[in-house]
Amino acid sequence: MKIALAQLNPIVGDLEGNASKILKACKSAHHQKCNIVITPELSLWGYPPKDLLLNLSYINKQKYLLNELTKNISISMKNISVLIGIVEPINDTHTPNLFNSILLIQNGVQKIIARKQLLPTYDVFDEKRYFRAANKTSKLIIKNESKSWTLGITICEDIWVSEKLQFSRTQGADPIAQLSEEKIDVLINVSASPFSHNKDLLRQQVISEAAKRINCPVIYLNQVGANDELIFDGSSFVVNKEGELELSLPKCEEIIDFWDIQKSGQKQIRSYAFVSPQEQIFKALVMGVKDYAKKCGFKSALIGLSGGIDSALVTTIAVAALGSENISSILMPSPWTSQNSINDALSLANRLKSHSTIIPISKIMTTFDEALTKPLNDLPKGITAENLQSRIRGTLLMALANNNNHLLLATGNKSELAVGYCTLYGDMNGGLSVIGDLYKTGVFELSKWIDSEASSLCRESMGIQSTGELIGLKIREKPPSAELRPNQVDTDSLPDYSILDPILKELIENKVAAKELIKSGYERNLINKIEKLLKRSEFKRKQAPPLLKISNQAFGSGWRKPIATI
């Protein structure tokens, strides 16, 4: 029996468009003489639909579109069975009043065959706000010629129940233990599992353990594409009953592939080339920008280019995502901007073949100084003067973005967001923060990889210059500086990033208490300073643009800290 894995890239809330994708996948599968088509979790809606689930008009639209899909499939593809991720209304007076379900379309009939049991409510997930948990596992019997096949059906979190592999798991039943008591021919897990740069190995280990527990092959099908801050890498795969890989689908690519149950265990492995950690991050961020722009209706992007490494990396990602002809970069030198920075920025724009414009801000700064001298009884000084430069630049960028319908991309990194080394209504302006989940040391590492020979095939596939440096050694080796005053460097205010970033990772991602870091040998004043900066900068992060999540703990919807706290 041949199964089609439809690794789809939906638009959240575009039920009509998503239904068309599903129908197209069915036609492709029918052409390949498949028996079953499986689609990701909530494939008709896109994940995560959030409060669209509370809008009754969407529920009514779902009913109509499912009827249309059923009619179209039954007319031209009579022998195919299709699994679609939907929301299932519950007819009672309790809330939540929906199930996260899988619908089977078969022989012109619709039938709910699975409901999600484990509802994640951590990090970016909030499923208990919308869904009710099911209380039993699901299986489906499919007849093909003279044989009947029993399929176990799980939805995303339902397979994440390994006590020995996971740090923790969602409280509730163990669907894999329940299915192990059944005689299952293959287990299907349909998912919408966001990308993080260290998830691949754990994901494969969890799925492989499930295969061994149930003693059958497992199909893991994941959504692909970026929706707001979340990036879904796809990376779907199939393992045999020993937990060994039989098929893998590519990262960050919408694709339909096929697998035959009867050929399982024959060592006919079909997989795609190994992707290094840096390439994974680069591909994820490129897809994040590309999908955010497309799904929000932007065709072009704007970037404030300083000659520093952050804006250089963001510009490179943007060119790979949208094409050099759709990227505009603006240089806004102040009296403190070095000629080297201007030269480096222009050279980068030239290498990337993107349009660049210089708008000096010295005269605007003078105008602000004159306007503020009387109310301040002096010229603006210190952080007031420094922030004015950033806000002047932010205002100019927003004006250009508004006028030309550009998506303004913010260029700040995670280290800066963590300690507040950024300016509200200045360099934090933008519709999307591209590297806001990448520490400064990570910015250097990714930039070095982009400039290396190891990136050449990836760069070529994205239509950017495949040989030689893109970001450039001058930019990569330059001491980090915002150039807001004469001879300024970041280490005037902050520890070196090689010291700062590991501490931030412990505090943010590993959630280690400051006192425990001090006990482990870190200098007390340093830890207390960094912790204080992290807490005091929360009000800035609450007003930051959405950022592309690539770690287990990003600043965004999964970071819910109070602003007013000790």
The 3-state secondary structure of 394-454 reads HHHHHHHHHHHCCEEEECCCHHHHHHCCCCCCCCCCCCEECCCCCCHHHHHHHHHHHCCHH
Domain shared by 198 and 237, yes or no = yes
Residue pair 225/232 in contact by the 8 Å Cβ criterion: yes
Domain shared by 293 and 266, yes or no = no
250 preceded by a cis bond (ω within 30 of 0): no
Domain shared by 392 and 440, yes or no = yes
Domain shared by 421 and 332, yes or no = yes
List strand residue ranges (DSSP E) for 138-184, in order: 138-144, 147-155
The DSSP element (H or E) to which 181 belongs, if any, is none
Burial class of residue 79 (count of CB atoms within 10 Å of its CB; 0-12, 13-18, 19+): exposed
* Tokens (6 digits) for 94: 């309790």
* 251, 272, 293 - which closes a domain: 272
Domain shared by 178 and 239, yes or no = yes
CA separation for the pair 69, 24 (Å, rounded) = 11
Whether residue 339 lies inside any domain: the answer is yes
> Which residues face 153 on adjacent strands?
138, 188
Domain shared by 84 and 189, yes or no = yes
Whether residue 139 lies inside any domain: the answer is yes
CA separation for the pair 37, 28 (Å, rounded) = 10
Residue-wise pLDDT tens for the chain (566 aa)?
Answer: 899 999 999 999 999 999 999 999 999 999 999 999 999 999 999 999 999 999 999 999 999 999 999 999 998 888 899 999 999 999 999 999 999 999 999 999 999 999 999 999 999 999 999 999 999 989 999 988 778 999 999 999 999 999 888 878 999 999 999 998 888 999 999 999 999 988 889 999 999 999 999 999 999 999 999 999 999 999 999 999 999 999 999 999 999 999 998 877 765 566 666 789 999 999 999 999 999 999 999 999 999 999 999 999 999 999 999 999 999 999 999 999 999 999 999 999 999 999 999 999 999 999 999 999 999 999 999 999 999 999 999 999 999 999 999 999 999 999 999 999 999 999 999 999 999 999 999 999 999 999 999 999 999 999 999 999 999 999 999 988 888 888 888 888 899 999 999 999 999 999 999 999 999 999 999 999 999 999 999 999 999 999 999 999 999 999 999 999 88
Whether residue 547 lies inside any domain: the answer is no
Domain shared by 105 and 39, yes or no = yes
* 272, 294, 325 - which closes a domain: 272
Burial class of residue 297 (count of CB atoms within 10 Å of its CB; 0-12, 13-18, 19+): exposed
* Tokens (6 digits) for 485: 């005053």
Domain shared by 324 and 258, yes or no = no
Positions annotated as catalytic residues are 41, 116, 156
Domains in the chain: how many in total? Answer: 2
Whether residue 328 lies inside any domain: the answer is yes
301-304: strand order across its sheet: 355-358, 327-331, 301-304, 407-410, 432-433
Residue pair 139/182 in contact by the 8 Å Cβ criterion: yes
Whether residue 551 lies inside any domain: the answer is no
Q: Packing angle between helix 497-508 and helix 440-450, nearest 10 degrees?
A: 110
Domain shared by 263 and 311, yes or no = no
Domain shared by 287 and 160, yes or no = no
Domain shared by 255 and 329, yes or no = no
Whether residue 550 lies inside any domain: the answer is no
* 227, 249, 272 - which closes a domain: 272
Residue pair 527/514 in contact by the 8 Å Cβ criterion: yes
Domain shared by 287 and 427, yes or no = yes
Q: Tell me, what CATH number does 140's domain have? A: 3.60.110.10
Whether residue 203 lies inside any domain: the answer is yes
Classify residue 132 by its DSSP letter.
P
**Residue 184 DSSP SS3:** coil
Residue pair 470/316 in contact by the 8 Å Cβ criterion: yes
Question: By C-alpha distance, which of 399, 401, 379 is closest to 388?
Answer: 379
**Segments forming the whole domain that contains residue 79:** 2-272
Q: Tell me, what CATH number does 411's domain have? A: 3.40.50.620
Among left, alpha and beta (phi > 0; psi -120 to 50; other), residue 289 is: alpha
Whether residue 510 lies inside any domain: the answer is no
